Amino acid sequence: MDLVLLVTLGVFAPLLGAAIVGLSGRRLGDLVSKSITTGLLFFSCAVAWIVFSQWTWGGLEAFTVELFPFINVGDFQSVWSIRIDALSAVMLVVVTSVSSLVHLYSWGYMAEDPDKPRFFAYLSLFTFAMLALVTAADFMQLFFGWEGVGLASYLLIGFWYKKSTASAAAIKAFVVNRVGDFGFALGILTVFWMFGTIQFAELFPMIAAKAGTGWVFLGHNWSALDLAGALLFVGAMGKSAQFFLHTWLPDAMEGPTPVSALIHAATMVTAGVYMVCLLSPIYEYAPVASAIIALTGAVTALFAATVGLAQNDIKRVIAYSTCSQLGYMFFAAGVGAYQAAMFHLFTHAFFKALLFLGAGSVIHGMHHEQDMRKMGGLWKLLPVTYAVMTIGTIAITGLGIPGVGGLAGFYSKDSIIESAFASFTSGHSAMGLFAFFVGILAAGLTAYYSWRLVFMTFHNKPVWKDAHHDDHAHDDHAADDHAHDDHAHHGPLKPHESPLVMLVPLLLLSVGAIAAGFVFAPWFIGDHEHGFWRGAIFVAETNHVLHESHSVPTWVKWSPLILTLIGTFAAFWLYVMKEGMARRMADRGGVVHGFLYNKWYFDELYDVVFVKGARAVGDLFWKVGDVKIIDGGGPNGMAWLSRKFAGGLARFQSGYVYFYAFVMLLGLAGFLAFAIYTWGA
């Protein structure tokens, strides 16, 4: 089959599955609905790997297929297209691989859910929107996919809509992302204002000539490319949960665990990183915007890692880990190491999806318990889950020996840290040194909270043995009509390993977590990187960051490992050697623990500033502006005045004849007096 046709079918296959199951799922039944959506996703996955292998080893050249006109308004021309280059080939593999395995995993995890067709339709809809985003050839289609994944994430986070916390989390994700998307839309308009086109193929060659273009505003000459780059990055901050716009991501864990793995680990949240790397021609000529990206990414990496230290919900720990790892990707792109950012995006997809789905296996085996303080001693009862979670933990902590090797995260994360140092020493980015020190510090924190999760969950004293359990006490489905008290099983909790349909995706992802680093490092960041990227990432002549990252001092190469070992030992000492000490410290509370446990009080701050602030402003306009001023001085005021005037006139209507005669007499006397005065004058 022609590759162009094959790619087109691969991109639209998830949409077909979503349409069929979304419209006819109840009539088709659960098994047919699951089979259609999952089968089409595995077809898309096969196509993606064919494209990726052809690009990597087969010499495939970049191409764009224009399918049909999308939006044509004056010079604003958009054509729905499928663009294939190194970036889109990588993203096709990431999106379809994780999505297909999540579909398969959901056969087991969602087995008891009464609304499976709707769930699988939403998953496929999300996947199509993501594929539309990563194959876009212009900003309009990119924005369509951007908003499409936002819609699908809203539907998936709030899938259990009868559960109030899930509905609130979906709304929060939607609102926070709209803030970022407003900046993203302004950035697109700025680009169109500067260049008169939104087509990437037309836009990118013109950027260098516009590098010095300024925009006078408030008496200051602003760099137009920096303005466009900063506004576009605001969109990435919202979609990729960066500092200030990060608050929606942990709450999104209210959705089903497969959703967490698909959206919040490997695909949607990496859309911002992909967008920044795609727009490298802009950011290479926008040093201020790039510095903002590097600073925001570094702060996010540190912030999320510190918060992850004190969380007890197994999914929220991994959620903050995602925030932190996204920070790594952004500061890599900000210092000019776009290739390293994309490499970490690629490897992160495997081990983070593995950790999320592994956490789902634990939750499933623990009858929907998510609090790690109520686990312990599970390694014998969930041996496969324990093994793959350990692999994922080694991968995410980047444990490995420089010059020898390690798992996936070792190659990609160390490349980012080394690139940050090289960007500073080469003079390419002033933020490089700050990002470097944040990177190695966050590496130690990552090791601590990651191994803390493993020790609390699989080792330590099995706390669950000491308590009876209600199967629905912590059930995600507790808000459904099908989870009534009379169905609950009260008795000793008996953890169990997950079914094979859930374990197979875990085993496949663990292969990626082990091998993705050393297999693909030469292509993404090594000897073959020029032949791999082939112009998909633009690097200015002055940018030698990736090349110089290979020759950083020895102490720079070993620093991440040293911090990782310190963090690992600290977790082992507190949670294994001195078991119970950490819990006693947490129970005593304290300022630091409270600060980290409450996520730097961002939710409380935003509640005061934005929620209550918006309500206060609304009350001011409503109760003062509308009710007192407009209504008080307008209709209500005139009504009051008319009522008072009518009341005064009513006093003259006594109903007595002598009173009316007296008034007439007074009127006549007054008239005569006026006439005499006038005539006399």
Tens digit of each residue's pLDDT (9 = 90 or more) over 603-629: 888 888 888 888 888 888 878 877 878
pLDDT(117) > 50 = yes
Q: What average pLDDT does this structure show over 506-534? A: 94
Query: H helices of 110-208, where?
Result: 116-134, 139-157, 164-195, 200-203
pLDDT of 472: 44
pLDDT digits (tens, 9 = 90+) for 36-59: 999 999 999 999 999 999 999 988
Residue 134 CB coordination number (10 Å):
25
pLDDT score recorded for residue 473:
41
Asked whether residue 138 carries a pLDDT value surpassing 80, the answer given is yes
Output the average pLDDT for the chain.
Answer: 89
What pLDDT is recorded for position 468?
Answer: 52
Cβ–Cβ under 8 Å, residues 332 and 419: yes
> What residues contact residue 162 under an 8 Å CB cut-off, 6+ apart?
479, 480, 481
Average pLDDT on 268-282 reads 94
**pLDDT tens digits, 551-609:** 999 999 999 999 999 999 999 999 998 888 888 888 887 889 899 998 899 988 888 88
Residues 9-20: pLDDT tens digits?
Answer: 999 999 999 999
% helix, strand, coil for the chain, step of 5: 75, 5, 20
19: its two tokens: 């349409």
Measured distance CA(149)–CA(252) in Å, rounded: 14
How many other CB atoms are there within 10 angstroms of residue 326's CB atom? 30
- Cα–Cα distance for residue pair 220/110, rounded to 1 Å: 57
Q: Residue 474 has what pLDDT?
A: 42
By C-alpha distance, which of 283, 305, 308, 307 is closest to 294? Answer: 283
Which residue, chain included where needed, has tokens 């050393």?
518
Is the pLDDT confidence value at 490 over 70? no
The predicted pLDDT at position 488 comes to 40
Lowest mean pLDDT among 244-248, 385-389, 390-394: 244-248
Residues 156, 255 contacting (CB under 8 angstroms): yes
Q: Kindly list the distances between the CA atom of residue 396 and the CA atoms of 177, 370, 673, in Å, as whole numbers in the listed order.
A: 27, 21, 105
Give the C-alpha separation, 120 to 105, whole Å: 11
Helices (H), 483-634: 500-524, 529-533, 545-549, 554-572, 581-588, 591-597, 602-606, 613-619, 632-633
The model's pTM: 0.89
Q: Could you tell me the two tokens for 666?
A: 């007074």
pLDDT tens for 404-431 read 999 999 999 999 999 999 999 998 888 9
Rounded to 10 degrees, the C-alpha dihedral 313/369/575/447 comes to: -50
**Residue 492 CB partners (closer than 8 Å, separation 6+):** 465, 468, 469
Round to whole Å and give the CA distance between 137 and 135.
6
Residue 281: partners with Cβ closer than 8 Å, 6 or more residues away: 203, 204, 207, 208, 538
Helices (H) then strands (E): counts for the chain: 29, 8
CA–CA dist 504, 454 (Å, integer):
21
- Local confidence band at 477 (pLDDT 50, 70, 90 cut-offs): very low
pLDDT at position 153, please? 92
Q: What is the mean pLDDT of residues 128-134?
A: 96
For tokens 């950035």, the residue is: 187
pLDDT (0 to 100) of residue 502: 93
Strand-pairing partners, residue 138, are 199
Dihedral (Cα; 477, 478, 484, 490), 10-degree rounding: 100
**Is residue 286 pLDDT above 50, yes or no?**
yes
User: pLDDT tens across 159-189, in order?
Assistant: 998 889 999 999 999 999 999 999 999 999 9
Which residues partner with 361 through β-bridges?
none
- Written as one string, the DSSP assignment of 630-681 is IIHHTHHHHHHHHHHHHHHHHTT----HHHHHHHHHHHHHHHHHHHHHHHH-
Residues 496-522, mean pLDDT to the nearest whole number: 94
Question: Which one, of 335, 502, 355, lies nearest residue 423 by Cα?
Answer: 335
The reported pLDDT for the residue numbered 492 is 65
Which token pair is 373? Answer: 């303080």
Beta bridge partners of 490: 470
H runs (alpha helix) in 374-528: 383-397, 408-425, 432-458, 500-524
Residues 379-390 have a mean pLDDT of: 94
More confident site: 608 or 444: 444
Phi, psi at residue 377, to the nearest 5°?
65, 30
